[in-house]
Structure 1
Amino acid sequence: MTIYKHILGDQFYKLHPMLQKRYKLSVGKKFKATGVMKKISGGPKWMYPFFLLGTRWKFLFPEHGLNIPFTIVNTSLIGPNKENQVHWERTFYFKNNKRYFNALMSLDPANNSVKDYLGEPSIFYSDLVFFVTEEGRMLIESREQRIVIGNIEVPLPRIFQGIVHVTEYYIEEKDVFSIHVLIKNPLIGTLFEYEGEFQTNDF
């Protein structure tokens, strides 16, 4: 059972059938897709150095734009401590740069959430909770967040957090997945946002 089926329980079967196929992902298998981000935008200009620094860890980036090609690869695997993990590799192809937004997810059954370690090596942690709408869409929201410094994890007060909202659904008329990711801070507002569509030949 994948971490997503486990966390959603019976709700998993309320997802659109194509989202069920996408998120069941057996151990050792990959989900690969290509698409276009209709828009990628971010926070105020003074944050540019921080986002540029984040590219060293494949975690966020300062570039913005419209109609940006991208690929996504999800790999289901077993981690060193024998827990199920899913590696996320999101690659964005800007005119002059290739940027990444990578993560490693695993299950936290005690809190009924997914552990999301962002960056390579990880520099940011977020608890994620998953929901399914009546229309069969996947909703993902962040909860507790921490800065990761080596083996030390420092909790972030909510006022300093990047609060995450993700919506993913399937558009049957176009035979595509649609994704919208929004990261906001209570003080600054929008820190990072992308919205686009992607297709797969994996099934």
Structure 2
Amino acid sequence: MSTQQPQQGAGSAPSTDAAPPLSPYAQALGGAVSELHPGLQCYFSEVPDGAVGRGRGTFEVVGTPRRWLWPLLSVLGRWGVLFPVHEVEVPFAVENRRSSTGVLHAVRRFEFRSGSREMTDAVHFRNGRVIDVLGVGGRLRVAFDATVREGALVLSSTSVGLRAGRVRLRIPTAVAPRARVVERFDGVIGRQSVRFTLDAPLLGRIYEYAGSFVYEIEQETPA
């Protein structure tokens, strides 16, 4: 089969066609993005201009039973990162929007027994990794390696940093908590499932959430 491309005429204008922008996840995965389960392609594709990705579901568990960690989690809760809870069957919703710079902004709303709480983050791609900047003011920054395993997306943290005003502090690897996210599609129930775990050296599991949801891209409705 010939691979020769048609040539433009002398007076023709150059093509303005451009490849659609890639999401931070697709950029990090490269060619492996095609290995994701078809049910995950919508979630990890780029959200088009003028659209919003919306998901609704239930977390089977959120938080940690280690109450001595709750004072620290209260601080992270005020930042919109993690929360001082240990609850089951928590309804939640997520909204994803793309900024003009290609950053993916997400808001997750948890319906706890004590009331609604929001977790915010901004995801972008840099140096081959997914960078997740979490919380109001971008207080927490986590770099992830992204891989595909049996159709699921697996994110494994490589570094964790904090922001205090204009100062950015990287937590030394030896003591930094390790975050892991596994997103897969459950064909039996027809829903996307997510599991987030946070483990600290010597302490083990210090936070988690896990559940399932349905997700679709919708046209943004003006307020």
> Is TM more than 0.5 here?
yes
Residue 189 of structure 2 is matched in structure 1 by 174
Counterpart pick for 2:155 among 115, 123, 140: 140
Structure 1 ranges of 4+ moved more than 2 A: 25-29, 200-203
Distance of 1:12 and 1:140 partners within structure 2: 13
Distance 1:121 1:43, change over 3 A: farther
In the TM superposition, residue 185 of structure 1 has moved relative to its aligned partner by 0.4
Distance of 2:158 and 2:152 partners within structure 1: 20
State whether residues 43 and 189 of structure 1, in contact with CA within 8 Å, keep that contact through their aligned partners in structure 2. no
Kindly indicate whether residue 139 of structure 2 is the aligned counterpart of residue 126 of structure 1: no
State whether residues 102 and 118 of structure 1, in contact with CA within 8 Å, keep that contact through their aligned partners in structure 2. yes
Distance of 2:99 and 2:123 partners within structure 1: 10
State whether residues 65 and 86 of structure 2, in contact with CA within 8 Å, keep that contact through their aligned partners in structure 1. no
SS in 1 for 2:42: helix
In the TM superposition, residue 16 of structure 1 has moved relative to its aligned partner by 0.7
Number of aligned residues = 196
Larger radius of gyration: 2
Kindly indicate whether residue 84 of structure 2 is the aligned counterpart of residue 62 of structure 1: yes
State whether residues 47 and 53 of structure 2, in contact with CA within 8 Å, keep that contact through their aligned partners in structure 1. no
Q: Percent identity?
A: 23
State whether residues 42 and 216 of structure 2, in contact with CA within 8 Å, keep that contact through their aligned partners in structure 1. no
State whether residues 27 and 128 of structure 2, in contact with CA within 8 Å, keep that contact through their aligned partners in structure 1. no
In the TM superposition, residue 172 of structure 1 has moved relative to its aligned partner by 1.6
Kindly indicate whether residue 116 of structure 2 is the aligned counterpart of residue 101 of structure 1: no
State whether residues 19 and 170 of structure 1, in contact with CA within 8 Å, keep that contact through their aligned partners in structure 2. yes
SS in 1 for 2:117: strand
1:126-151 C-alpha deviation (Å, 9 max, x unpaired): 11111001x21110111111111122
SS in 2 for 1:6: helix
Q: Which amino acid aligns with 2:117?
A: R
Residue 221 of structure 2 is matched in structure 1 by none
Distance of 1:201 and 1:104 partners within structure 2: 19
1:16-42 C-alpha deviation (Å, 9 max, x unpaired): 112112111234332111000011232
Structure 2: stretches of 5+ with no match in the other structure:
1-21, 219-223
Counterpart pick for 2:72 among 50, 70, 91: 50
Counterpart pick for 1:13 among 34, 46, 51: 34
In the TM superposition, residue 104 of structure 1 has moved relative to its aligned partner by 0.7
What TM-score, normalized to structure 1? Answer: 0.90
Distance of 2:102 and 2:199 partners within structure 1: 29
What TM-score, normalized to structure 2? Answer: 0.83
1:81-111 C-alpha deviation (Å, 9 max, x unpaired): xx42011211110112212222111110xx3
State whether residues 84 and 107 of structure 1, in contact with CA within 8 Å, keep that contact through their aligned partners in structure 2. no
1:65-90 C-alpha deviation (Å, 9 max, x unpaired): 11110111111112xxxx42011211
Structure 1: stretches of 5+ with no match in the other structure:
none
In the TM superposition, residue 164 of structure 1 has moved relative to its aligned partner by 0.6
Distance of 1:45 and 1:63 partners within structure 2: 8
Distance of 1:53 and 1:168 partners within structure 2: 27
State whether residues 74 and 88 of structure 1, in contact with CA within 8 Å, keep that contact through their aligned partners in structure 2. yes
State whether residues 38 and 195 of structure 1, in contact with CA within 8 Å, keep that contact through their aligned partners in structure 2. yes
Counterpart pick for 2:178 among 163, 167, 191: 163
SS in 1 for 2:104: strand
